Structure 1
Amino acid sequence: MDRDTTDIQSGGPDAGAKQPPGPADRGVRRDVNYYWCGQTASAFGSVFTTIALPVVAVVHLNASAGAIGLISAAATAPILLLGFPAGALADRLAHPRRTLVLLDLVCAAAVGAVALGLAAGTVSLLWLGLLCAVMGATSTFSMSVYFLHLRQLVGPDGIGSARARLQAGQYGAALVGRLLAGPAIAVLGAAAALSVDVASYLLSAVALLAMRSPDLVPRGPAPSMLTSLRGALAGLRLFTGDGFHRALAVFIVVPAAALAGVTALTGPFLLRVIHLPTAAYGSLFALSGLMGLSGSAVAGRVLAPGRNPRRVLLGAFTAAMACSLLLPLADGPLPLAACCAALGIGLPIFFGSIANVAVSSVLVADMSEETLGRAMAALQVCVATAGLVGALGSGVLGDWLGVRGALWAMGLIALGGVALSLPAALRAARKAPAVPAPEPAAV
């Protein structure tokens, strides 16, 4: 790169000519291709487990709404417990790729154990809860290591394009997986579906091991774990010093709690209340994948330069909560109920994907570079806390009001909380953000 720039600036005979890629460039592209294959395979396989677990819990183990809530909470609790420590630990890792391989192998072993238990007929709800806890814990660490490894692989300038390519592959694989998971479970059984996920984790590990670029991040003297955790916890204060940031916390936490509760009850609602066939269960979620892709594309337009991302964020979150009420409305003949349920699942994801992009725009604009990392860590823990409360609350409401009644209650409470906060949030959104001043460097 430096040589190309020198040639162009000096006006030599090859000025402006595109240099052929060197061995190092080809090696990076090859390793990115391996990473894409591994991540895409993992996303494809994970859908089979995501679809299979509710079917096993509801159809085979006759789980109550409260039990479903506990299983969902088991997947969220590790993020709350390990979010800050995982971020601090990631900053200390010298070999992130080895860590990702280890996490893939742990996931493969956990899913494989449950698959064998299903085949032997010994699986219980406790097994499913433990699997969700293990998957939640490994996901917490992998989220922290993912960008560290990607930066190591392509450098800071290549993260944008590499991340876009990886995300597109994951979206596409998840969409195909949703279409195939239901029929696969109906024909081959849940154990076979989980085996697909086991194979996907092993493929991801093999892809990581096939990379040839160095797996070493130079590390200087690292702060103590206690110092790192204190710095992360300080990020919570960044959401209390500004009127809009306080409102933003409501608009993030309330929908997160509602989404976790609705997600926990969606399986029982579709399979027990509207009696959706197991073979069609996964395909109903295919629309959500398309809605997520569409929402991401629309977000790029509505958040064009000159637009106020704060107002877009508030409107998108409010619309997502309103559309979530379509799910408990699903009733009547199965085709009509399935269409209504698909919209109740897909439209909140459409508006939620717009809101997620807007949140990033708002935080990047409102936070200084020195405080952004702590703010994101604090946000992750707050969302996990809300998700834990939502999952547990939905289970209690499901046992008390029934699944449809609990969905109505979760949706109306969330929409009411967002609507009550909306006027003050819109007034605060008109004010220019006050970016925190960088903290003085430690001497």
Structure 2
Amino acid sequence: MSPGRHRQRPGQHRPRRDATSADLRLYWWGHTASALGSAFTGITLPIIAVVHFEASPGQVSLISAAAVLPMLLLALPAGVLADRIERPRRTLILLDTLSAIAVAAITAGVALEVASIGWLVALCAAQGCVGVFLETVYFIHLRQLVDDAQLGAVRARLQAGQYAAGIIGRLLAGPTIVMFGPAAALAVDGISYLLSATALVCMTPVAQTLRPTAGEPAAGLGAALRTMTTGMRFCFGEPVRRAVLVALFVPGAALAGVGALTAPFLLRVVQVPTQAYGWLFMASGFAGLAGSVLAGRLLAGGRDPRGVLLASSGAAALAGVLLPAAGGPILIATGLAAVGVGLPALFAAVANVAVGPVIVADVDEGTLGRILAALQVVGAASGLLGAVTGGALGELIGVRSALWVLQLGALAAVLLSVPPALRAARRSRRAAAPADLGRTPAADLARAA
């Protein structure tokens, strides 16, 4: 047996990859319930901060930063820990429970009128820390449940549920706050975590995940750093993956900048009526739902996920230029703005589903957590950079001009990266030989770590 392959230890079994339809339904319901609760909190926290605590813009940005910073600080070591988890379902149950406790504490503080801005920062930081592990372990567990060929279709179904829950959550959060108060809206999120944990408890247990016994890293700081950077070396170590990262995260950075400028652009420059503002983002939710369904069908048809990923990333960047083009009579401007917000969301949803099969195409069980963590770090860093850049450009050259710069920059990056990525992917497929099937780049990195 080659050194990079898994060896079976006594009492250990290969992970089961034939989850029953009942298990997958439970997983879908739990995931969707959690997404519904998150939509409630996403609407409620800004309202509590601005309306009830009269938070300054700096304080609001501090709340947002508290949710993102754990990703930058903890994702790489979290990936190392995730690769050592042998029963990810149990870990997910624990993480859902911790999230429910954190939300319950803030809910009680808001209901008793003892909470403050610091409490909201603490909640976002706690959820950010849990989220670092939750996203990685969720993917590892999903890979236990289904084989790689089914992964894209199952992720599409899960993402469709997530978008649908987000639409419903955004519709119901406002009326819930008005009728029952912000504490009740937060309580929905706490209950959703408990429902997610309950669904996981009811699922059929899966055999322990195999971990490599060969090539385990030696002790010491240098070895620990090499282990944590395994995912980074994997992501940037091959031309196709480098191009995919550019095609994914440059538009992602631009999207973060656009997100920071969308509200002032639509409300002040385009002068979209306030009552219509929320409906524009409902359009993006429906577009994301449609994109999830489309992605499932595209990948189920046996198409190369790398091609789907790169094509959808390019389409999202191209569609994004419609937003700064919005202008003219208010009905036309609002329609263009809705298309400019919705179409990128549709194609981004396709890309988000396609990235799963791309990741697992040549990744073994022993390095998946570190690779996902590396992607989280790159995504968080690009998002922060994009948001800061968007705000600075908006101040310097105006909101509409800043949107043009961001969208055209993202489109240029995709157009430059996609053709060489497709050529490199075709070369790698032609060069593949039967003797190479037992080895993967991730296995080589696992041995080197």
Give the one of 378, 385, 389 matched to 1:389.
Answer: 385
Q: Could you tell me whether the CA contact under 8 Å between 1:84 and 1:229 is conserved in 2? A: no
Aligned pairs for 1:9-408 within 5 A: 33-56=25-48, 70-116=62-108, 118=110, 126-150=118-142, 154=145, 160=151, 166-185=158-177, 188-209=180-201, 211=202, 213-214=204-205, 217=208, 223=216, 230-266=226-262, 274=271, 276-277=273-274, 282-300=278-296, 310=306, 312-330=308-326, 336-363=332-359, 367=362, 369=364, 373=368, 375-398=371-394, 406-408=402-404
Whole-angstrom CA distance in 2 between matches of 1:150 and 1:431: 30
Q: Could you tell me whether the CA contact under 8 Å between 2:156 and 2:292 is conserved in 1? A: no
Aligned pairs for 1:390-429 within 5 A: 390-398=386-394, 406-421=402-417, 424-425=420-421, 428=424
Question: How far did residue 348 of structure 1 move?
Answer: 0.9
Whole-angstrom CA distance in 2 between matches of 1:244 and 1:83: 23
Change in CA separation of 1:124 and 1:389 when aligned onto 2, cut-off 3 Å? farther
Find the counterpart in structure 2 of residue 9 from structure 1: none
For the aligned residues, what is the CA RMSD? 4.3
SS in 2 for 1:326: coil
Corresponding letter in the other structure for 2:230: A
Change in CA separation of 1:93 and 1:426 when aligned onto 2, cut-off 3 Å? closer
The normalised TM-score by structure 1 is 0.73
Q: Percent identity?
A: 52
Whole-angstrom CA distance in 2 between matches of 1:426 and 1:221: 32
Change in CA separation of 1:71 and 1:412 when aligned onto 2, cut-off 3 Å? farther
Q: Could you tell me whether the CA contact under 8 Å between 2:394 and 2:402 is conserved in 1? A: yes
- Structure 1 stretch displaced more, 80-89 or 306-315: 306-315
- Structure 1 stretch displaced more, 39-48 or 390-399: 390-399
Question: How far did residue 266 of structure 1 move?
Answer: 4.1
Corresponding letter in the other structure for 1:146: Y
- Structure 1 stretch displaced more, 217-226 or 252-261: 217-226
Q: Could you tell me whether the CA contact under 8 Å between 2:44 and 2:182 is conserved in 1? A: yes
Q: Could you tell me whether the CA contact under 8 Å between 1:291 and 1:347 is conserved in 2? A: yes
Question: How far did residue 254 of structure 1 move?
Answer: 0.6
For structure 1, the 5+ residue unaligned runs are 1-26
Whole-angstrom CA distance in 1 between matches of 2:295 and 2:131: 26
Corresponding letter in the other structure for 1:40: T
Corresponding letter in the other structure for 1:177: G
Change in CA separation of 1:362 and 1:29 when aligned onto 2, cut-off 3 Å? closer
Corresponding letter in the other structure for 2:128: G
Whole-angstrom CA distance in 1 between matches of 2:62 and 2:391: 7
Whole-angstrom CA distance in 1 between matches of 2:210 and 2:426: 43
Corresponding letter in the other structure for 2:38: S
Change in CA separation of 1:34 and 1:124 when aligned onto 2, cut-off 3 Å? same
Corresponding letter in the other structure for 2:68: T
Change in CA separation of 1:238 and 1:318 when aligned onto 2, cut-off 3 Å? same
Question: How far did residue 90 of structure 1 move?
Answer: 2.4
Corresponding letter in the other structure for 2:131: S
Change in CA separation of 1:300 and 1:55 when aligned onto 2, cut-off 3 Å? same
Q: Could you tell me whether the CA contact under 8 Å between 2:156 and 2:353 is conserved in 1? A: no
Question: How far did residue 369 of structure 1 move?
Answer: 4.5
Change in CA separation of 1:264 and 1:202 when aligned onto 2, cut-off 3 Å? farther
Q: Could you tell me whether the CA contact under 8 Å between 1:48 and 1:193 is conserved in 2? A: yes
- Structure 1 stretch displaced more, 89-98 or 330-339: 330-339
The normalised TM-score by structure 2 is 0.72
Whole-angstrom CA distance in 2 between matches of 1:333 and 1:63: 35
Change in CA separation of 1:333 and 1:197 when aligned onto 2, cut-off 3 Å? farther
Q: Could you tell me whether the CA contact under 8 Å between 1:236 and 1:375 is conserved in 2? A: yes
Question: How far did residue 360 of structure 1 move?
Answer: 4.2
Change in CA separation of 1:327 and 1:110 when aligned onto 2, cut-off 3 Å? farther
For structure 2, the 5+ residue unaligned runs are 1-18
Q: Write out per-residue CA displacement over residues 254-273 of structure 1, whole angstroms, 9 at most, x where no aligned residue.
A: 11212223334445655666
SS in 1 for 2:126: helix
Question: How far did residue 233 of structure 1 move?
Answer: 1.6
Corresponding letter in the other structure for 2:73: L
Question: How far did residue 393 of structure 1 move?
Answer: 3.1
SS in 2 for 1:327: coil
Question: How far did residue 47 of structure 1 move?
Answer: 1.0
Higher-Rg structure is: 1
Whole-angstrom CA distance in 2 between matches of 1:124 and 1:409: 38
